[in-house]
Structure formats: C-alpha cells, structure tokens
Amino acid sequence: MCSIGDDDVLDDGISSLMTPQKQMLHYLPKGTCYKCGQDRELYKIHFREAECKNCFLIFVNHKFRATVGSSKALPRNADILLVFDGSAESVVLLDMLQTAQSESNFKRLHCYLKVLFLDDYEAYKDTCGINDYKLYIQQVKDLLLSYDNIKCYVTNLRSGIHQKPFDIKDMNLYLNREMEKEKVFSNDINNIQTSTSRNEFIKLYRKNLIASMATILSCKYAFIPTINISIATDLLSAIALGQGNNVACDVAFKDDRLVNGIKIMRPIKNLTETEVLLYIRARNIKWCDRRDHVINASSSIQRITELFIRNLQKNYSSTVSTIICTGNKITSNNDSYEEFEEKCCLCNSSIVNSETLSAVRYSRYVSERMSSDFDLDINFKKFLNLTQNQDQKVCHSCQNIGRDSDINLIKHYL
C-alpha cells in the first residue's frame, strides 16, 4: 500500500483536498515585488519569485492567452460555448475570457461567448444533500446573472442530448421541469456495476451533451475549465483504462473526436490549482464549491489515480508537470490513419488491435476448455473470429464498460 501522504488520508480512505490552498487565500505576506519593485502583498507560486497582484495577474492571463494563441486552433470571431459548473476553475476561465474581451483593441480576444451551466448533480449526489444543492443552484444563478452582457444557459447531465437548454433567467422553470426520462437515465447509470465504468460512461455522455448543446446554441467551440492536475489524472487514467491510442486527445488543447464537428478546447490546461486560487483572491471573485472534495480511495480507477497523483505531488513537486510534458509529446493516431481506421461507435476513437489484446483473448480461450482442445490454428481462429465479431465497432476501453453493463443500453445513450 502506498504510504505517501498517509497523514492526510483518514482511516476510511477519505482525504480532504485543497485545504492548504484555502488557507493561503487568507494569509499573504507583504514585501517587494521582484518585477516592479513595489511594496505590496506578495503572490508566491512554486518555481517563481514572489510578485505583486498586478504582475501576478499579467502572468496568469498571459499563460491563458499563450495557450490559446500558440494552439492556432481558434479563429477570429469564433462562437464559443463556455462550460460552467461553478467550480473555482470555471469561474477563473469565465473571468479571464471576460477580461480578454474587454482588453484594448490590440490585445482583445475576438470571440462571441455564451455560457452553459452544466448541472452535474447526478454525478456527485452521494456527497451533496438536496439543501446544499438548492443553495448551490441559487449561488450559480446569482453569479452568472452578474455578467449581464453574456447569454447564459442551464442544462442537466441527465437531460436528453437533443433537449434545449434553459435560459439562466428561467431557473424556476428549469427546477420544475419534467423529470421522468431523467429518472430512467439515473436508474440506468446506477445499474452500471463498477464506478470505474460509471465514471467513463458519464465522461463520454457529458462530452456528447456538450457537443449537442454547442450545436443547439450555434457554437463551434466549447471551452472546458480543465487545469493541469485534471489533465495529469486524465492521462494516467486513460493509460490504465487501455486508451493509449487516443490519450493524446484527452490531454491536448483541442479534442476533435466529436461526430458533429464541435471542438472541445482546454484553454487553462497549463494553470495549477494554486494559480487558480490566487487568481480568485487577486480578482476578489466568488465561486460556488458544491462538492466537499471527498475522495474515496478505493472506489474507481479515476479516483485512485487522482489520489495517487496528489500524494506523489506532495513529495515530488514536479510530478504533475512531468506527466503533462510526457502527454504533450504523445500524438494521436487518429490523424495519421483517419481514412482507413474503423471508429468506435461509442467514443469515436479509432479501433486498434494489438498483440496484448490477442494474448488476452487467448487467455480466455484456454481458460474455457480442456487442454486437449487447445489449438493455435483452427479452434482458436474460430474463437477469435467469433469474439471479434461480437466486439465489432467498439474499442477496447468501451468493451470494458460493456462488461459492466448492457452494451446496447450504453449505445442507446451515446
């Protein structure tokens, strides 16, 4: 059992996150800024000299603009849908976009922004009571309405993919909507046997929902508020889930695997948790943290990975940045063989075969019959053809979701 960071993990495997960073918001030392030389409150982040508020904000905004600019993937006057969930990261991204749009002409980010509040209560309802949820919804509404020049919408993770989002001003209408179909959806999610597969399904469904909402709201680009630690977790989780051939899309600035041509972008992928929290302090903005940031250490591959990375980061401070650097060197084989390769009907990733998958199939083959029936030629080839036909058009990772639930039901939703 990994013993790193044991002090932070309670007996039942629950760890509280972001506590040191929260404290940091209240106590900032005063001193001389290394950049402008003025005596002010100092914002200190790892691997960087302490600087004043203004210099810090210039640095963080530059980081965001550099990520968007260097990708060369966002055209001028693009219609952008910002996916908002009230978290610190999404509030920061919204504020940065707002700042970028109000810059002087030379520095202005020329785009048309719409905000979609994606209410994902379904994914975390085990850790949040109904009263906290109602309070959270009200906070998000107030926060979004404070941006009076941006059109804001709300939709639910359980919503049908083609269901129109509500205007944020019609929050009461949203809360009193028809929920019969959503209850069926919740029931189907709960029937997925493992939380690893449940998380994967929610991830895929969420992506499709974002793409669909973007299409309905006439946006070609969707900005998601993913920061570096989430990218590192996604990368390592994807490796553990057997998605090596598509991992580049999970960590890159742009993910263009969606069928309707919508491009998902991660403009704050290079920001750290500390930078996000310091930005919030510097700009004096509010965020609505509805989750109590509880990690059950043994529940799913994604959770174990997140906890592992957070613990390792405490002892080896370059862990997250090294994982991100490794991810940046990986490319997707979606680009090279686009015309020839078959795509997975669930996640739209290319379907590949490997010696390892053949070895797994052979293991199943020999575990099901007596040794006298082992045959590398005729019998195994028959078995291989049979299993390959069954697995057709579903990638290896999605087949694993299918093992924990009814694959046809999953296909129905995706």
Binding site for another protein (CB under 8 A): 1-4, 194, 196, 235-236, 238-245, 247-248, 297-301, 304-305, 308, 312, 319, 322-323, 325-326, 329-333, 336, 352, 354-360, 362-364, 366-371, 374, 376, 396-397, 400
The helix (run of H) or strand (run of E) holding residue 105 is none
Backbone phi, psi, residue 13, to 5°: 80, 20
Using alpha carbons, list the distances in angstroms from residue 234 to 113, 137, 344: 27, 27, 19
State which residue, 212 or 400, has the beta carbon closest to another protein. Answer: 400
State which residue, 186 or 333, has the beta carbon closest to another protein. Answer: 333
State which residue, 124 or 308, has the beta carbon closest to another protein. Answer: 308
State which residue, 163 or 237, has the beta carbon closest to another protein. Answer: 237
Question: Can you read off the two tokens belonging to residue 198?
Answer: 């449940």
- Shortest Å, Cβ 313 to another protein: 11
- Shortest Å, Cβ 406 to another protein: 19
State which residue, 34 or 337, has the beta carbon closest to another protein. Answer: 337
State which residue, 115 or 231, has the beta carbon closest to another protein. Answer: 231
- Shortest Å, Cβ 66 to another protein: 18
- CA 146-147-150 angle, 5° bins: 145
The whole-angstrom separation of Cα 220 and Cα 304 is: 34
For residue 324, the number of C-alpha atoms closer than 13 Å in the C-beta half-sphere is 18
Q: What is the DSSP letter of 54?
A: H
Question: Can you read off the two tokens belonging to residue 164?
Answer: 């129109």
The whole-angstrom separation of Cα 307 and Cα 17 is: 10
State which residue, 3 or 77, has the beta carbon closest to another protein. Answer: 3
- Shortest Å, Cβ 223 to another protein: 24
The whole-angstrom separation of Cα 168 and Cα 292 is: 25
The whole-angstrom separation of Cα 238 and Cα 227 is: 16
Q: At a CB cut-off of 8 Å and minimum separation 6, what does 15 contact? A: 5, 8, 9, 294, 295, 297, 307, 310
- CA 123-128-130 angle, 5° bins: 105
- Shortest Å, Cβ 333 to another protein: 5
- Shortest Å, Cβ 407 to another protein: 16
- Shortest Å, Cβ 325 to another protein: 5
- Shortest Å, Cβ 71 to another protein: 14
State which residue, 239 or 282, has the beta carbon closest to another protein. Answer: 239
Strands 221-223 and 78-84, bridge-based pairing:
parallel
Going 290 to 292 to 298 to 304, the CA torsion angle's sign is positive
